[in-house]
């Protein structure tokens, strides 16, 4: 169903002819979405047009046209993943790329106000000039600050010290699916952006709750996020050591190290203790495969992997970063760390002492710029499974379940042998919460591999249900009705609430519900 | 043939769609203001205009998913200076080719007979006059009249042939620089000659527009002519020429019995050997604009040929291992060393430099076909130069210089634009 | 007056040797990426002939091209050069037609245009060099045909044509309507300007498929392509010795005779 010309003209009047397109070549390029596609790289459903609004007013006008003429719309920020595309025929895509301004950095109150297409790295470099830093999600600094804060999960390993995107969210400007504008928290009262809630029930729970609405509940056009103290230099100078850009000078009072533990239980115990002690700046459990791929070319990686050295050294290990505000604090944190390691049998991994590793990881933990290298480079296809934002114990239970399940598929040869346990995970929010997800790599252009990965994902969802491991987070192929329908009845019928929210806020079902929740029971 | 879309199917199919191609390498980003690396996506915004979007477009064409070649498709394909910034940004995380699929998409379309009307003018001019500027072939050597430089096309012999390049030959302002260059070389005692009216285009524009048949003719005849002239070195002022001679000529499988140098490399060498000495100071705060073709695009490209093997289940291992050109080995230091050695000069870097330099906007025929994009891109660079307090911007490419100058004129600023040879002449 | 010019899109005859490849299985030239097709050079001369007449006497010049996949930017050059209209006869069934079938399709198109006074074609196309289409087209249309023209003039309903022959030219006259095939001696197609190329986009471009033409069944191919290959070019260099230049020359003459070259 192509967009009628008169409808197209209505949108065109809003954004101007340069900022709307239904050219087949443009639509095709938007349909290229390997992450989340079951097989290959192409989405099955094409948007009828892509629209590039530049202001809230334009978004409002577009939403109103959609409501009036029964057209479904779907917003995207950086657009990484199939869930960014409409899942129904006849819909239009709103690419928010032109809404890319950092509207304010309030140094004193430590927050920034951003539009949807500001990426984490843009905010970080501007924040650092003012002695501040921002939380960056695990997917990398090439992702939108606003998207993870308002709409999708939001965990990152710097969350040990810089929270969680959902929790860092302050004031929000929200264009409802109907086209009305609602301002959450203090901006609603014209009192600045410092707070996301007013008196009364929190709308932050409505707009995102646990994992976000994945663009299915209107468009968040502005939001404020918390910033955090940055004790490093205002500008980080890099040097080139192929293929990496690494810090030219080590950062004072920062220490990066990989620690390994005799068992996963001990690792969990150490993470918990470190959280309780409220030390550390960044922590992430890194699998041998993830670390190996950060450091090596394909052939080197395979050669190293086949020696078994990486697996041995990094079997149960995490990367821990201390970044203190003073030498005294640095010494204190070191001492606490030593004690925790003593209690849990943790050992510093020899690999982390090399200068190369020090430079590389110090840069990577600040910049979070090398995710593609470890996830997509080897096989092309990548996905993630399970997913906890809960207790350390739940995270560990998921890892154990995931390991067993993945081994089965690795033995079948349909997914990459990454040692099975390829989980990126650990405590966040100052140790009160723990996160995990189980990565898997496969060849999305190989039918058997793609099919195998899909079966694995399906089976992993079932395992979560059967073993009471919570609901999966990033199951892009499963998000929306499928997932919520599957897990709702096991989790206090939360899906019914999602549907009710969707109905209330989107009476015409104008905002594509595919990745969120259908209004129908 | 070197530009075959099907050779890049695997690259195009394995783009992660992570958008790294839209930014400078993330660790090198320094501000929000100058956080774009690609003029095309920065100006037009649809994903299609990015490196990744162009790969998707190329893949769709190769797989027959786009059955009609529309005017708008052609506009999208050619609203790109093929500056290669996307490629460098992609490659610090992946080992994919991004720029070559962009070239190959153009070659694919050109092979089907699809190009812009302006391109047929450029290509006609190449076929008839051996230059891209629609100027008479007979006038090519006129810039050197009265210089008393050897003319190799008349059978004279020299150790070094100076290849001025199309713009330096025909543009009156730029040909003064070519004359200065010859004088500088002679002053330094270099045994230099030119090819007068027999000099031809390097073929770079044809190549970048996807007309590889035309490119091959020029490249092969240049190689043959230089080999026959028996020169040890080909020195060129044309950054596009240098880039193509270094990165693409070697792929044609013809022996090149000469070394190719850009004028900045040669002047740097002569200065370091003491054959040229600066005596006058140039008291200004100066920044340097890296021409794409002198920088990241001059790195010799080695197309990967081999087999893919699956190990560790689904890990795709390329045998032999792929050589990855990240653009890190371009000519970056020689021009900077020249500038730094000028007495009294205060050299300051912009934010986007070297392999992640922002393009001036002129490349790949964009100046001739879409001047608005060229000037917008240049104005972004001028803003960047000003943001670091630059009073002057020095560059080493005729296209960059011309485009930056026009953008300064248009925006009415007072930033000076210099060719590096002008700077050297003034400081001697 | 209406003049139809038949133009063929061909593989660029000036492409570099290294780019030319044939697919021996399919017996086809592989279209080289990055080497656009061009208007067949003699057809360009044919268009120039029509435009010259139009310039002198006023006429509507309609360019017609036929094939299974026609490149608009290449063929719209006819419009930029001055043709008033371009008709593309494009259909999957028009792929690889031989000269006889091609002439049949072109004739159907000329009949559909109607009221045509002259049809110009190149003397032969640069890809197969058969030189048949123009003549068969005349046969199909029942028009007289004059080939290899170097000059065309029209007066009093008659066309007066100078024909290239081995030792000069001959002058032939025929009544209109007629078909004339044009030689390069007529002169190169005029230069086009960028403005003309842009303006060409606004000129009428029609697309006729097989179903749009009143086509009789196309004749079966009269020629069978047995093989298609790039001839191997071998060079051997032999030096003739001799005590004196005369002796060497005599030896050379003998060798040439041995090779059957003298």
SS (H, E, C) chain C: CEEEEECCEECCCCCCHHHCCEECCCCEECCCCCCCCEECHHHHHHHHHHHHHHHHHCCEEEEEEEECCCCHHHHCHHHHHCCCEEEEEECHHHCCCCHHHHHHHHHHHHHHHCCCCEEEEECCCCCCCCCCHHHHHHHHHCCCEEEEEEEEEEECCEEEEEEEECCEEEEEEEECCEEEEECHHHCCCCCCCHHHHHHHCCCCEEEECHHHCCCCCCCCCCCCCCCCCCCCCCCCCCCCCCCCHHHHHHHHHHHHHHCCCC
Q: Which of B20, B46, B315 sits opposite A21 (nearest CB)?
A: B46
Do the interacting molecules here have an ipTM over 0.90? yes
User: What pLDDT sits at residue A61?
Assistant: 98
Q: How far apart are CA A476 and CA A515, in angstroms?
A: 8
- Same domain? For C179 and C260 the reply is no
Q: Work out the percent of chain B whose per-residue pLDDT is above 90.
A: 97
> Which range of residues forms the domain containing residue C259?
232-262
Which residues of chain A make contact with B52, given a CB cutoff of 8 A? 32
Q: Which residues of C touch B (CB under 8 A)?
A: 9, 12, 14-16, 18-19, 31-37, 69-75, 77, 80, 191-192, 194, 197-198, 200-201
Contact state of B116 with C73 under an 8 Å Cβ cutoff: yes
pLDDT score recorded for residue A296: 79
Instruction: Specify whether A392 is located in the same domain as A466.
Output: yes
CATH number of B278-295+330-428: 3.40.50.1860
Q: What are phi and psi of A426, to 5 degrees?
A: 160, -165
pLDDT of residue C221: 87
CATH topology of domain B127-272: Rossmann fold (3.40.50)
- Domain assignment present for residue C75? The answer is yes
Beta strand ranges found along A252-372 (DSSP E)? 254-260, 282-285, 317-323, 347-348
pLDDT confidence tier of residue A481, bands split at 50, 70 and 90:
low
- For B29, phi then psi, to 5°, come to -70, 135
Contact state of A378 with B316 under an 8 Å Cβ cutoff: yes
pLDDT of residue C219: 84
Whether A225 and A280 have beta carbons less than 8 Å apart is answered as: no
Q: Give the pLDDT of residue C19.
A: 80
B46, B318, B321 member nearest A52 (Cβ): B46
What's the pLDDT at B179? 97
Confidence bin at A1 (pLDDT 50/70/90): low
Same domain, A214 and A264: no
pLDDT for the residue B135: 96
As a three-state string, the secondary structure of A357-416 is HHHHHHHHHHHCCCHHHHHCCCCCEEEEEEEEEECHHHHHHHHHHHHHHHHHHHHHCCCC
Q: Give how many domains chain A has, as a whole number.
A: 4
Q: Give the model confidence (pLDDT) of B372-393 as tens digits.
A: 999 999 999 999 999 999 999 9
Q: Which of B27, B43, B91, B373 to mutate to test the interface with A (most CBs of A within 10 A)?
A: B27
Mean pLDDT of C205-232: 90
Model's pTM, two decimal places?
Answer: 0.95
Q: Which of B209, B213, B220 to mutate to test the interface with C (most CBs of C within 10 A)?
A: B213
For residues C27 and B127, give the distance between their C-alpha atoms in angstroms, rounded to a whole number: 29
A368 and A244 co-located in one domain: yes
Q: Looking at the predicted structure, is the pLDDT value of residue A30 above 60?
A: yes
CB contact at 8 A, A127 and A133 = yes
Same domain, A334 and A266: yes
B1-115 has which fold?
Answer: Fumarate Reductase Iron-sulfur Protein; Chain B, domain 2 (1.10.1060)
Of A358, A373, A388, at which residue does a domain stop? A373
Residues of chain C found within 8 Å of residue B211, distances taken between Cβ atoms:
34-36
A391 with A350, same domain? no
pLDDT in tens, A376-420: 988 999 999 998 889 999 999 999 999 999 999 999 999 999 999
Give the mean pLDDT of A327-342. 97
Fold agreement (B127-272, B278-295+330-428): yes
CA-closest candidate to residue C133, choices C105, C175, C95, C156: C105
- Kindly tell me if the per-residue pLDDT of B13 is higher than 70: yes
| Predicted pLDDT of residue A480 | 54
Q: What are the tens digits of pLDDT across the range C17-69?
A: 878 889 988 888 888 889 999 999 999 999 999 999 999 999 999 999 999 99
Quick one: average pLDDT of A463-468?
Answer: 94
Domain ranges, residue A414: 379-479
Q: Are A470 and A394 in contact (CB under 8 A)?
A: yes
Per the structure, the count of domains in chain C is 2
Q: What is the pLDDT of residues B47-67, one digit of tens each?
A: 999 999 999 999 999 999 998
In chain B, what are the domain boundaries?
A: 1-115, 127-272, 278-295+330-428
- Are both A393 and A302 inside the same structural domain? no
Q: Looking at beta carbons, which pairs linking B169-176 to residues 24 or more positions away fall under 8 Å?
A: B169/B131, B169/B135, B169/B140, B169/B141, B169/B142, B169/B143, B169/B199, B170/B131, B170/B133, B170/B135, B170/B139, B170/B140, B170/B143, B171/B398, B171/B402, B174/B398, B174/B401, B174/B402, B174/B419, B175/B143
Q: Angle at CA C81, nearest 5°, toward C79 and C87?
A: 25
Task: Tell me the pLDDT of chain A averaged across its residues.
Answer: 93
Mean pLDDT computed over every residue of chain B: 96
Nearest CA among C242, C244, C240, C245 for reference residue C255 = C240
Residues A51, A85: one domain?
Answer: yes
> Rounded mean pLDDT of B336-343?
97
**And the tokens for C94?**
């028009």
The CATH number given to whatever domain includes residue A394 is: 3.30.70
Q: Is the pLDDT of residue A478 over 70?
A: no
For residue B220, the chain C residue with the least C-alpha distance is C16
Q: What is the pLDDT, as a whole number, of residue A475?
A: 67
* Yes or no, beta carbons of A35 and B313 under 8 Å apart: no
Is the domain of C131 the same as that of C208? yes
Give the pLDDT of residue A183: 94
Q: Are residues C139 and C253 in the same domain?
A: no
Of A21, A245, A305, the CB nearest to B28: A245
Residue A286 scores a pLDDT above 90? no
- Return the ∠ at Cα A68 (arms to A64 and A73), rounded to 5°: 60
Average pLDDT over residues A258-279: 93
Chosen from B315, B323, B355 to mutate, greatest number of chain A CBs within 10 A: B315
Are residues C12 and C61 both part of a single domain?
Answer: yes
A80-89, A143-152, B223-232, C233-242: lowest mean pLDDT where? Answer: C233-242
């Amino acid at each position: 169903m192509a967009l009628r010309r008169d409808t197209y003209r209505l949108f065109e009047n809003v954004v101007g002819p340069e900022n709307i397109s239904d050219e087949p070549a443009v639509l095709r390029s938007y349909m290229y979405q390997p992450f989340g596609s079951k097989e290959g790289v192409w989405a099955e459903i094409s948007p009828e047009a892509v629209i590039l609004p530049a202001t809230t007013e334009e978004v409002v006008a577009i939403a109103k046209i959609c409501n009036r003429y029964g057209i479904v719309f779907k917003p995207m920020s950086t657009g990484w993943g199939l869930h960014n595309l409409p899942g129904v025929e006849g819909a239009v895509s709103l690419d928010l790329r032109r809404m890319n301004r950092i509207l304010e950095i309030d140094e004193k109150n430590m927050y920034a106000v951003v539009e949807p297409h500001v990426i984490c790295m843009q905010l970080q470099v501007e924040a650092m000039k003012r002695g501040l830093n921002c939380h960056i999600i695990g997917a990398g600094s090439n992702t939108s600050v606003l998207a993870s804060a308002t709409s999708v999960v939001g965990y990152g390993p710097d969350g040990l010290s810089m929270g969680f995107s959902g929790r860092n969210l302050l004031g929000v400007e929200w264009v409802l699916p109907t086209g009305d504008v609602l301002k959450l928290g203090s901006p609603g009262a014209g009192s600045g952006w410092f707070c996301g809630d007013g008196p009364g029930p929190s709308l932050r729970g409505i707009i995102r709750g646990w994992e976000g609405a994945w663009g299915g509940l209107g468009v968040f056009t502005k939001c404020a996020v918390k910033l955090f103290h940055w004790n490093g230099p205002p500008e980080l100078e890099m040097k080139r050591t192929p293929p990496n850009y690494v810090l030219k000078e080590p950062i004072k009072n920062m220490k990066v190290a990989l620690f390994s533990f005799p068992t996963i239980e001990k690792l969990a115990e150490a993470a918990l203790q470190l959280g309780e002690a409220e030390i550390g700046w960044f922590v992430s459990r890194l699998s041998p495969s993830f670390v190996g791929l950060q450091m090596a070319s394909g052939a080197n990686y395979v050669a190293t992997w086949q020696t078994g050295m990486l697996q041995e050294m990094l079997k149960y290990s995490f990367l821990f970063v201390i970044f203190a505000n003073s030498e005294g604090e640095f010494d204190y944190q070191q001492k606490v760390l030593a004690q925790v390691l003593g209690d849990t049998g943790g050992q510093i991994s020899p690999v982390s002492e090399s200068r190369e590793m020090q430079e590389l990881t110090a840069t990577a933990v600040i910049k979070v710029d090398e995710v593609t290298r470890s996830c997509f480079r080897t096989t092309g296809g990548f996905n993630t499974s399970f997913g906890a934002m809960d207790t350390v114990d739940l995270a560990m239970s998921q890892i154990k379940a995931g390991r067993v399940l993945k081994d089965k598929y690795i033995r079948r040869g349909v997914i990459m042998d990454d040692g099975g346990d390829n989980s990126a995970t650990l405590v966040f929010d100052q140790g009160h919460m723990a996160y995990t997800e189980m990565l898997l790599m496969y060849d999305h252009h190989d039918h058997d591999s793609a099919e195998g990965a899909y079966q694995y994902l399906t089976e992993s969802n079932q395992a979560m249900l059967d073993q009471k491991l919570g609901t999966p987070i990033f199951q892009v192929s499963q998000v929306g009705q499928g997932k919520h329908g599957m897990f709702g009845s096991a989790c206090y019928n939360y899906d019914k609430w999602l549907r009710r929210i969707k109905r209330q806020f989107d009476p015409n079902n104008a905002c594509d519900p595919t990745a969120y929740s259908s209004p129908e029971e | 043939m070197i530009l075959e879309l099907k050779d890049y199917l695997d690259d195009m199919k394995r783009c992660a769609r992570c958008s790294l191609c839209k930014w400078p390498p993330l660790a090198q980003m320094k501000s929000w203001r100058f956080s774009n690396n690609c003029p095309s996506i920065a100006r037009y915004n649809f994903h299609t205009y990015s490196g990744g979007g162009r790969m998707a477009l190329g893949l769709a064409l190769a797989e027959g998913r786009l059955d009609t070649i529309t005017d708008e498709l052609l506009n999208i394909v050619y609203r790109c200076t093929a500056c290669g910034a996307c490629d460098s940004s992609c490659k610090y995380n992946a080992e994919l080719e991004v720029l070559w699929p962009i070239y190959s998409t153009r070659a694919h379309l050109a092979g089907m007979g699809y190009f812009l009307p302006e391109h047929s003018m450029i290509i006609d001019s190449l076929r008839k006059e051996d230059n891209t500027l629609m100027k008479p072939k007979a006038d090519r050597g006129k810039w050197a009249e009265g210089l008393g430089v050897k003319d190799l096309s008349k059978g004279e012999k020299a150790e070094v042939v100076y290849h001025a390049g199309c713009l330096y030959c025909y543009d009156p302002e730029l040909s003064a620089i070519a004359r200065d260059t010859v004088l500088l070389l002679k002053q330094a005692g270099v045994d230099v000659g030119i090819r007068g009216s027999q000099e031809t285009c390097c073929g770079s524009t044809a190549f970048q527009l996807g007309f590889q048949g035309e490119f091959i003719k020029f490249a092969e005849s240049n190689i043959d002519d230089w080999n026959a002239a028996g020169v040890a070195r080909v020195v060129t002022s044309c950054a596009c020429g240098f880039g193509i001679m270094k990165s693409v000529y070697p792929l044609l499988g013809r022996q090149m019995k000469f070394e190719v140098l850009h004028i900045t490399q040669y002047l740097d060498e002569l200065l370091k050997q003491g054959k040229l000495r600066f005596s006058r100071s140039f008291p200004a705060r100066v920044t340097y604009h890296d021409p794409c073709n002198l920088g990241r695009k001059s790195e010799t490209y080695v197309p990967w040929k081999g087999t893919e093997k699956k190990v560790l289940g689904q890990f795709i291992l390329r045998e032999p291992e792929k050589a990855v050109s990240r653009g890190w080995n371009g000519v970056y230091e020689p021009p900077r060393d020249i500038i730094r050695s000028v007495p009294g000069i205060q050299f300051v870097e912009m934010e986007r430099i070297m392999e992640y330099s922002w393009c001036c906007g002129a490349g790949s025929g964009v100046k001739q076909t879409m001047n608005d994009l060229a000037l917008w891109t240049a104005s972004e660079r001028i803003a960047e130069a000003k943001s670091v307090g630059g009073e002057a911007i020095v560059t080493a490419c005729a296209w960059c210089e011309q485009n930056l100058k026009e953008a300064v004129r248009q925006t009415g600023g007072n930033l000076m634009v210099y060719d590096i040879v002008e700077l050297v002449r003034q400081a001697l | 007056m209406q003049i139809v010019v038949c133009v063929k899109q061909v593989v660029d005859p000036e492409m570099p040797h290294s780019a030319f490849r044939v697919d021996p299985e399919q017996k086809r030239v592989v279209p080289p990426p990055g080497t656009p097709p061009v208007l067949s050079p003699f057809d360009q001369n044919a268009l120039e002939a029509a435009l010259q007449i139009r310039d002198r006497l006023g006429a509507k010049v309609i360019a017609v091209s036929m094939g299974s996949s026609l490149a608009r930017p290449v063929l719209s050059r006819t419009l930029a050069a001055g043709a008033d209209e371009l008709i593309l006869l494009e259909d999957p069934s028009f792929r690889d037609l031989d000269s006889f079938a091609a002439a049949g399709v072109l004739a159907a198109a000329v009949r559909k245009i109607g009221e045509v006074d002259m049809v110009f074609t190149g003397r032969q196309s640069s890809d197969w060099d058969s030189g048949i289409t123009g003549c068969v087209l005349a046969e199909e249309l029942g028009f007289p045909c004059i080939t290899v023209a170097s000059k065309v003039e029209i007066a009093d309903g008659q066309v007066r044509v100078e024909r290239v022959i081995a030792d000069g030219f001959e002058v032939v006259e025929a009544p209109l309507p007629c078909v004339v095939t044009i030689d390069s001696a007529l002169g190169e197609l005029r230069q086009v300007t960028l403005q003309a190329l842009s303006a060409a986009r606004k000129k009428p471009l029609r697309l006729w498929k097989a179903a749009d033409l009143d086509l009789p069944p196309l004749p079966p191919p009269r020629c069978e392509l047995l093989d298609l290959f790039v001839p191997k070019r071998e060079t051997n260099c032999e030096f003739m010795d001799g005590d004196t230049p005369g002796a060497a020359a005599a030896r050379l003459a003998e060798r040439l005779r041995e090779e059957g070259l003298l």
